[in-house]
A and B are shown apart, each in its own frame.
Chain A
């Protein structure tokens, strides 16, 4: 086989590791290099906001299990600082250069930080994305602060607030929108989630933003909120979304910005003129790509399952793409545990215009809700009913009509679909996929289905 001899993977987290394993599975026996900015071997992030934060799991037990020996060179603790596509070289921040025949970009995202001039540098102001973040935040929570402020009621914010209540800590959560999880799941399900917060004893401030974080002697003391109140808190967790780690690609010629790196459905990176770049691939949270199920837009997902599936597709195409290219079309799926419930989702709820509870009931906190866009099923959310979701996934992939005809034994007699109540119009979300397809792909509207 006349394949590549040197493959470089930039990003040594879930997508990077699984891609490296898949490259070996696909028969690649050349030199494999993994570059990571953190000093740690690849670790699993979902436990950080759950078992780690509660003190149940130490961070050094979060290492990702290895599916196989990958026989790789690891360059950890050194971020990549640039790429030269013509010379096929990755530059590292410490001045080294790593040549490649094929390159995989899997640098992921980071938590959007709080602006420094509004108190972002105060001691006690934290984000939660990395192992070090989790260690810091766990120590801060274990110290028993009088109150924790969580900024943002997305998935991370909800999980942090939930752990705080488990630890019997007072917690205030601010949320710009009218309900938790609003941008991810819409207002109908969001208002049910409001009940979870309130019953857990969270001080939830909806329609409220933080104006400033204020400190004394460099330590956080209080937050001024847009509702005119002041919250005294020693710890603030900023859970306000993610930024793609793409600065190192600035000027490279790739279609990359804070929203991600654009690639096609075969995971090939696109140049800023929209044409595929030879031998450069993208996978994981940093990738923005056109999902065949959701035409007319680019998707970027902060999802564990997607990172694994996209890594495998990219690895396959890096080795066998010229003969048998594979499209990355895995159905989006994610889960969260908060306030004692398990929430699992397939598809893309944020596209939907209608929602209907198809099984169980919102009040019982055990239900399945189906999401429809213009008469087609596009997503389903299951709360404490994870095992039924595969059935919905098959219906979504088959383009089943909405509302779905189920007659489920625990469903209502009649399905009354409601407005899904997503905030619109929101920047960067396309609610009308009538967008002309002649748009050059890098500027196509995008959907961010992150955990915020």
Chain B
């Protein structure tokens, strides 16, 4: 705390961290919150910011992924993101069986997509690129649509829905009434869209993930239409709204650390640890939520049964108890057990895909952009506090060299 006259409470600090004017850099607030790794907020919810404490809570059998405390949970069909075992496990197994084999062996395809997206801007002269609009957004969106079997032409319709819906993940008191009303409407449109998509798929069949889920012969399958719709919505939104931030945040880190950028240009193997460091240093998903099924003693306090708990993943990633020099971007940081993909049974199902996309995209940017420079630092950010990232990332360059074999 910089001021000795004003003692900030955890609730104040958290509210500050969420304010839009601090979107580009909420980390100083996280740093202050870290002084108490687990703390009760004024509204009775709990906030965990310590790396160890978040790691424990993510793996604790006394934790529910439903953000609503058990006494307030509603009997609606939940996605596997907020569902608990045993239903969570059944849904997750089905998705994993369909998702993982399809993701294996995709690197060449991702590479070709990245090459194509950048080729569109190849230039012998100085120019500009919006890394979000021209690469970080279209890449994962194309991949997830192909994987799932969503027609690419539906993307514009779907993309705007995804964007409106993810805003709904943010704490309710940061949203305006208009936003909440719009969210309800977007939910309805999404249901309608997905039901139509499923109906069309049922008629035509195919070998995409959606068809796989519909016709799974595995012990847990096939998925019924409601689970199918909920799961599909989750995967589509996750595919739209997370990897974009990973690639954009990674680009931002590289442009702010020219030494790392120069190393990546000559050493593509650096991409692997570097993307892990981006996931630690500036994670695309800043926080997650849980509720407690029993009293949990942790960090010298007791979170009572039935409490709502926020897990501030991005703060845990900067915990000095776990990471040496946590505010430094170290592209080859050893022993980097970051919380960027969460942990425990809800560990990001798309982690492998996201890693591949980010590694390939960042390597291509490093290799092909000559003298890249941030046009605005910080760049303009999106409203979203949880799925946080730049709205646009305009970058100038002196030359954008051709891809594939010519560099």
Contacts and interface: CB of A to CB of B under 8 A. Distances in A.
A411 B64 CA distance: 12
B345 A390 contact: no
Interface string A384-404: 010111111010001000000
Residue from A387, A388, A409 having most chain B Cβ neighbours under 10 A = A409
Interface stretch (B12-20, B198-206, B291-299, B385-393): B291-299
Contact of A390 (B62, B295, B344): B344
A407 B62 contact: yes
Nearest to B63: A391
Contacts of B305: 407
Contacts of A366: 86, 89
A390 B85 contact: no
Contacts of A410: 84-86, 89
B293 A408 contact: yes
A358 interface: yes
A124 interface: no
A388 B61 contact: yes
B56 A407 contact: no
Interface of A: 358-360, 366, 368, 385, 387-392, 394, 398, 405-411
B55 A390 contact: yes
B85 A409 contact: yes
A356 to B, nearest CB: 13
A359 B64 CA distance: 13
A389 B343 CA distance: 12
A360 B84 CA distance: 12
A406 B294 contact: yes
15 contacts: A385-B89, A388-B59, A388-B85, A391-B59, A391-B60, A392-B61, A394-B56, A405-B295, A406-B61, A406-B294, A408-B61, A409-B64, A410-B85, A410-B89, A411-B61
A391 B346 CA distance: 13
| The 9 residue pairs across chains A and B that have the minimum distance between CB atoms | A409-B84, A410-B85, A390-B59, A407-B293, A391-B60, A391-B59, A410-B86, A408-B61, A387-B345
Max chain B CB contacts within 10 Å: which of A359, A366, A390, A392? A390
Majority secondary structure, A binding face:
mixed
A373 B262 CA distance: 57
B56 A406 contact: no
Contacts of A398: 297
A405 B56 contact: no
Interface core residue of B59, B61, B85, B305 (most chain A CB under 10 Å): B61
A316 to B, nearest CB: 15
Nearest to B84: A409
Contacts of B64: 409
Contacts of A394: 56, 59-60
Contacts of A392: 61
A391 B347 contact: no
A437 B56 CA distance: 34
A387 B293 contact: no
Contacts of B293: 406-409
A391 B344 contact: yes
A293 B86 CA distance: 32
B86 A388 contact: no
Could you say which interface size class chain B belongs to? 20 to 34
Contacts of A387: 59, 344-345, 347
Interface of B: 55-56, 59-64, 84-86, 89, 293-295, 297, 305, 344-345, 347
Contacts of A408: 61-62, 85, 293
B59 A360 contact: no
A26 to B, nearest CB: 14
Nearest to B60: A391
Contacts of B85: 359-360, 385, 388, 408-410
Contacts of B345: 385, 387-388
B294 A360 contact: no
Contact of A358 (B55, B61, B86): B61
Interface core residue of A360, A387, A398 (most chain B CB under 10 Å):
A387
Contacts of B55: 390
A259 to B, nearest CB: 34
Contacts of A407: 62, 293-294, 305
B344 A359 contact: no
A359 B345 CA distance: 13
Contacts of A368: 61
Nearest to B56: A394
A391 B86 contact: no
A391 B57 CA distance: 7
A388 B344 contact: yes
Contacts of B295: 405
Nearest to A364: B86
A228 to B, nearest CB: 40
A266 to B, nearest CB: 23
Contacts of A389: 59
A409 B63 CA distance: 8
B259 to A, nearest CB: 23
Given A390-B344, A408-B61, A408-B85, 10 more contacts: A360-B86, A368-B61, A387-B59, A387-B344, A387-B345, A388-B344, A391-B63, A394-B60, A406-B293, A409-B85
B73 to A, nearest CB: 10
B138 to A, nearest CB: 33
A387 B85 CA distance: 12
A397 to B, nearest CB: 10
Contacts of A405: 62, 294-295
A392 B61 CA distance: 7
Given A360-B85, A409-B85, A391 B297 contact: no
B62 A406 contact: yes
A406 B305 CA distance: 10
A411 B293 CA distance: 11
A409 B295 CA distance: 14
B302 to A, nearest CB: 12
Contacts of B62: 391, 405-408
A389 B55 CA distance: 12
A382 to B, nearest CB: 10
A66 B388 CA distance: 37
B251 to A, nearest CB: 30
B95 to A, nearest CB: 15
